[in-house]
Every structure is written in structure tokens, then in C-alpha cells.
Amino acid sequence: MVLGIGIDIIEIDRVEKALARRKGLLRRLFTQQEIAYCNRRGRAAASLAARFAAKEAVRKACSSVMPDILFPWLEIEIAVEGERPQVKLLGSSAVEAEKRGIAELLVSLSHSRDYACASVVALGEAAGPNI
């Protein structure tokens, strides 16, 4: 069952400038695995922007069943398994999502020269009448 849908779009240049301006921002937004993967790509900023959009889309998709919780950036990881990106929830976010009935988060990423976007679908079973 679809529990929620999220989408986000961001200017790649905006992400690139923010990361250059604020040195600690990279490690506050992205896991070591995400940083390593993006640094191996042709234009790291485009891959980082797509991951940031995906993290925003995850928050939006989950808000329908978890309106009281905002996942920390580092507890949302966008990993690549084979050719396909996947959402991995970490720490207390993974525990809370499971308690609320979210079984899977499907993600799609895309970017052009100027923009990166992502969409996320939260799948599972609603965890009770209070949601």
C-alpha cells in the first residue's frame, strides 16, 4: 500500500555554492558512503544535489504517517545497489519508520545541467488508527 509520496527539486549550482561556503556542511548532510560515491562521479555536485533532493523527498513521503518526526540528514542514506539507487534509513529513523508501518522507500533520481530532482514512494501498511 502507498503510504506517502515525496518529490523535490534543487539547483545544482546552489548546492555547490553552499558546500563551498560552509565547510562543515558536506559532513552534516551526507554519509561517508554518499560522499565517496559522489566524489567518484563526473560532477560530484550533481550527484550530491540529487541525494539532497532525495533526502527531502524521503522526509515528505514519510510525513503522511510520521508528521511528528523529521529524520536527521545522516539517518537517510541514498546508496547504489547495482545500477539502482536505494534509500537506507539508519539509526532511530529506521526503527521509527518500521514502527509506523513503512516497509520500503522507492527512490528515483535525475539531474540535468542545472537541476537535480528526486521522487520517493513510501510503501507499507498503516500502523494503527492514530496515524
80-107 as b/e, with b when 16 or more CB fall inside 10 Å? eeeeebebebeeebeebbeebbbeebbb
Q: What is the pLDDT of residue 83?
A: 85
Chain segment 103-120, per-residue pLDDT in tens: 999 999 999 999 999 999
User: What is the domain partition of the chain in residue ranges?
Assistant: 2-124
Give me the mean pLDDT over the 22-42 stretch.
95
Spell out the alpha helix ranges (H) of the chain: 12-21, 25-29, 32-39, 44-62, 91-99
Strands 2-11 and 115-124: antiparallel
Q: What is the mean pLDDT of residues 42-64?
A: 96
What's the rounded Cα separation, in Å, for the pair 34 and 99?
A: 26
Tell which CATH classification among 3.90.470.20, 3.40.50.1220, 3.40.220.10, 1.20.1250.20 matches the domain 2-124: 3.90.470.20
CA distance 34 to 109: 14
Residue 36: the pLDDT is: 96
pTM attached to this predicted model: 0.92
